[in-house]
Structure 1
Amino acid sequence: MATPSFLANKYLISSCIFVCLNIISSLDKGFALTLAETTKGHHLQLNSLLPASTCSPSTRGHDKKKASLEVVHRHGPCSKQPNQHKLKTPTHTEILQQDQARVNSIHARVSHKEVDDLRQSDTSIPAKSGSVVGSGNYIVTVGLGSPAKPLSLIFDTGSDLTWTQCQPCVKSCYKQKEPIFDPSVSKSYTNISCNSPVCSQLISATGNTPGCSSGTSTCIYGIQYGDQSFSIGYFGKERLALTSVDVFDGFLFGCGQNNQGLFGGSAGLLGLGRNKISLVEQTAQKYGRFFSYCLPSTSSSTGYLSFGRGAGGPSNAVKFTPLSTVSQGGSFYGLNVVGISVGGRQLSISTTVFSSSGTIIDSGTVITRLPATAYSALRDAFRQGMKSYPQAEALSILDTCYNLSGSKTVSYPKIAFAFGGGLTLDLDATGILYVASASQVCLAFAGNSDDNDIAIFGNVQQKRLQVVYDVAGGKVGFASAGCP
């Protein structure tokens, strides 16, 4: 395989989205707390949020005979990472800092604003070490090539291009769980020509004009994420196996030759966005643009990512809301939020606050971001319901925290979202509280800087919910208790 000239030189790429599907994985293991249920609150033993030292996989929603993949947390015992690839678990501050970087990149992408910390004006690739771990990630394992090689990929509804690191790693590759994919030993790998119509699809999928290698005329992709992590390499097609029977020939993906950043351990990314190049669109003939997932409550349990109407969890319990298209962000899945209630009472927030900002659901953003006006109302109502408990120091972007170390039983107000189409969604308790320690339990929401930035329904708020994407039907659905 010839070395494209741009891999040895500087290549300008604009920002996209850092992929990190995050959960709380480093909680204080000595913390056990019972939350009392009231007519307006949740109940939960908070020690159930603490990851155990052994994996307790769930079979709910995961059927090996169907197109269903097991979802695990990269830092938990279910990831089965070799000891030599075990990486330091990120701190809560690091998780939230990386989350803010992702949110900043989404806001810039949707508004088409170019900000200095997202674009490299000097055309240089930032030098980030792949050994530096950012936020935790949810991963699934797929097979690539002939014969199929297992690869653990981060899955992300906010990105379109699927990519993995490839040999010979002309420029740079970070350490990953499995051996790096070698296209030269696969019988089904083919490079995409610069003149191929599909090469031009990279512009909308990555936000960057594709390059062209000298000598081989191979299409080159370049994608950069919100924290300046990046992947650059050949654009090719290969056989992708989601299961032993669900195999797709000619799957378009990025074969990374220069990869740096906060992906440590995973082999790359599985893109589930709405662009033509995403996995959802490339498998549309078989699965009908229908998929679902459930994110587990802790890193010591598992969830699932399923494709097609026959796979997944309790579909008969799913309630749907219409999908909307986000202006300037067609790859995102938009939701129509119409209200929020705290403790059973609807907050006094004008619907124009939500309609003016718009909202997306994103599996890669950790903490839900609300318009400034909406967040203030939510925070104030929650604080009123928690006024009998001592406050604690803020944790990064989380400004409403409590010291619950002296309490055996705690009651707190439940939170529900109202979406278009008459759907009211009660959040699981794991989607309301972010537990750093017994002395620092925080409201798991944050506000945008103003009401014009797009709101984001993040993955903490999605935990334990079965989330169903019926893209062809133009709707997203939810069901409670989809996984442990």
Structure 2
Amino acid sequence: MAAARRAPGVALLLAVLLPLVATPSRAATPARAASTAAFQLHGDVYPTGHYYVTMNIGNPAKPYFLDVDTGSDLTWLQCDAPCQSCNKVPHPLYRPAQNRLIPCADSLCTALHSGLGSNKKCPSPKQCDYQIKYTDSASSQGVLITDNFSLPLSKSSNIRPSLTFGCGYDQQVGKNGAVQAVTDGLLGLGRGSVSLLSQLKQQGVTKNVLGHCLSTNGGGFLFFGDDIVPTSRVTWVPMSRSTSGNYYSPGSGTLQFDRRSLGVKPMEVVFDSGSTYTYFTAQPYQAVVSAIKGGLSKSLKQVSDPELPLCWKGQKAFKSVFDVKKEFKPLSLSFANGKNAVMEIPPENYLVVTKNGNACLGILDGTAPKLSFNVIGDITMQDQMVIYDNEKAQIGWVRGPCTRSAKSILSSFP
């Protein structure tokens, strides 16, 4: 589960038996012309700390809020199987049918275990157990199952492919695992074969293309497929094979502040919608903090705020980032992979105004979660469409408002 400051997860696997009777059944979905599915997003960077989508799952279909996470592969729901440890969630716990277990020999089980760096065997051939731990100490333990997901498509009203996901019956979120969760589970949209996106491609439902548009005002939209990818103005960078895992990476970027180099060596970057904030490793983080502090006017005073580590107050409380952005200079990342493609990071893409009326830096020190790479999180991806094109192995972004509704997007198709 992506917590409010989650960075990409490092996972390990633990096998635990689930008290379900296994008579596996995964209905094949007939091949069809690939289409596009679009969804409305909810949530925000602050104070929610999550962007999430409503997915209708099961038969009859019931709604669940899933945290949109491009930094991990496995989709999972908190699950009454029965539940050993679950958080308080927005909807009643998902209840799996008896015949929905994925057996250990299934290729997706093998892929999941391999992706989590585990060589453990399943304790029972009838089911596929998993345990994932994320870098913010959140975790999910459960078993793989299959069920129908209702997808609103551009070329037909709705289809219900059978997809594999995790039934999580032991979750730990926050310090004691008893906190109220914003979401019912997590939507894993990474590059692995167990990712929902990869499964939809495998079944011929959509192309292996994903895009999200996160609004500064909260909400936005998410899509699977390539029908609404703009044909112009997109900055494209070839996907790089991240040295730190199977993440979406545009490779190494050179950091600039106010169009001048900060003198930091090129830094490996990954895009992770499951991370609320952006994380830099020690050297670029210190360089950014020094540059920002050095460019501020005397009207801003550094102040302590429980919400984030580095904050400033003005002569009166700020109501939004747009009240204070003129006091700060833009950052940018230039990627050599994409013929010096540039991602602009204006102040509204790295600042948060807290409930206390202070302006705080939404770029955090990655040494605390022990990151060896740099994470571009939700705050920096706001108000631009970010596209992960696994068909052409490229990542793109284009600035624009993210306030369109999923319905208007689908109705605009030819």
**Residue 269 (structure 2) pairs with residue 337 (structure 1):** no
Distance 2:173 2:305 in 1: 24
**Residue 387 (structure 2) pairs with residue 468 (structure 1):** yes
Residue 238 (structure 1) shift = 1.7
Residue 469 (structure 1) shift = 0.7
| Residue of structure 1 in register with 2:288 after alignment | 378
| Residue of structure 2 in register with 1:236 after alignment | 145
4+ residue segments displaced more than 6 Å? none
Please list the CA deviations of residues 420-452 of structure 1 after superposition, one character each: whole Å capped at 9, or x if unmatched. Answer: 312112224421222225663123323444999
**Residue 37 (structure 2) pairs with residue 67 (structure 1):** yes
| Residue of structure 2 in register with 1:321 after alignment | 237
Does the CA-based 8 Å contact 2:299-2:315 persist in structure 1?
A: no
Residue 158 (structure 1) shift = 0.9
Aligned 1:252-271 pairs, distance under 5 A: 252-262=164-174, 264-271=181-188
Distance 1:370 1:393 in 2: 22
Aligned 1:303-314 pairs, distance under 5 A: 303-311=220-228, 314=230
| Residue of structure 1 in register with 2:332 after alignment | 416
Aligned residues: 356
Using a 3 Å threshold, how does the CA distance of structure 1 residues 178 and 404 change in structure 2: closer, same or farther?
same
Does the CA-based 8 Å contact 2:215-2:402 persist in structure 1?
A: yes
Please list the CA deviations of residues 195-248 of structure 1 after superposition, one character each: whole Å capped at 9, or x if unmatched. Answer: 33432222134445566466x832222223334433222311222222264535
Does the CA-based 8 Å contact 2:253-2:335 persist in structure 1?
A: yes
**Residue 192 (structure 2) pairs with residue 275 (structure 1):** yes
Please list the CA deviations of residues 64-123 of structure 1 after superposition, one character each: whole Å capped at 9, or x if unmatched. Answer: x951111101899xxxxxxxxxxxx6xxxxxxxxxxxxxxxxxxxxxxxxxxxxxxxxxx
Distance 2:311 2:90 in 1: 36
Residue 395 (structure 1) shift = 4.6
| Residue of structure 2 in register with 1:366 after alignment | 276
Does the CA-based 8 Å contact 1:392-1:440 persist in structure 2?
A: no
**Residue 350 (structure 2) pairs with residue 350 (structure 1):** no
Using a 3 Å threshold, how does the CA distance of structure 1 residues 365 and 170 change in structure 2: closer, same or farther?
closer
Distance 2:284 2:376 in 1: 13
**Residue aligned with 2:161, SS:** strand
Distance 1:265 1:456 in 2: 22
Using a 3 Å threshold, how does the CA distance of structure 1 residues 195 and 349 change in structure 2: closer, same or farther?
closer
Using a 3 Å threshold, how does the CA distance of structure 1 residues 287 and 373 change in structure 2: closer, same or farther?
same
Correspondence for 1:479 among 370, 391, 398:
398
Residue 181 (structure 1) shift = 2.2
Please list the CA deviations of residues 295-316 of structure 1 after superposition, one character each: whole Å capped at 9, or x if unmatched. Answer: 1213xx420111111136x553
> Quick one: which amino acid aligns to residue 20 of structure 1?
A
**Residue aligned with 1:275, SS:** coil
> Quick one: which amino acid aligns to residue 350 of structure 2?
I
> Quick one: which amino acid aligns to residue 140 of structure 1?
V
**Residue aligned with 2:97, SS:** helix
> Quick one: which amino acid aligns to residue 188 of structure 2?
G
> Quick one: which amino acid aligns to residue 379 of structure 2?
V
TM-score normalised to structure 1 length: 0.65
Residue 268 (structure 1) shift = 0.9
Residue 329 (structure 1) shift = 0.6
Residue 258 (structure 1) shift = 2.8
Greater helix share, structure number:
1
Correspondence for 1:459 among 375, 378, 389:
378
| Residue of structure 1 in register with 2:162 after alignment | 250
Does the CA-based 8 Å contact 2:5-2:136 persist in structure 1?
A: no
Residue 170 (structure 1) shift = 4.3
| Residue of structure 1 in register with 2:24 after alignment | none
**Which 5+ residue runs of structure 1 have no aligned equivalent?**
1-17, 24-64, 77-88, 90-134
**Residue 351 (structure 2) pairs with residue 433 (structure 1):** yes
Distance 2:242 2:182 in 1: 32
**Which 5+ residue runs of structure 2 have no aligned equivalent?**
7-34, 175-179, 318-322, 404-414
Does the CA-based 8 Å contact 2:270-2:376 persist in structure 1?
A: yes
Distance 2:301 2:87 in 1: 41
Distance 1:74 1:439 in 2: 17
Please list the CA deviations of residues 148-173 of structure 1 after superposition, one character each: whole Å capped at 9, or x if unmatched. Answer: 22221111011111111233424233
TM-score normalised to structure 2 length: 0.76
Using a 3 Å threshold, how does the CA distance of structure 1 residues 227 and 273 change in structure 2: closer, same or farther?
same
Greater strand share, structure number:
2
**Residue aligned with 1:377, SS:** helix
| Residue of structure 2 in register with 1:139 after alignment | 52
Using a 3 Å threshold, how does the CA distance of structure 1 residues 321 and 431 change in structure 2: closer, same or farther?
same
Does the CA-based 8 Å contact 1:170-1:258 persist in structure 2?
A: yes
> Quick one: which amino acid aligns to residue 69 of structure 1?
F
**Residue aligned with 1:184, SS:** coil
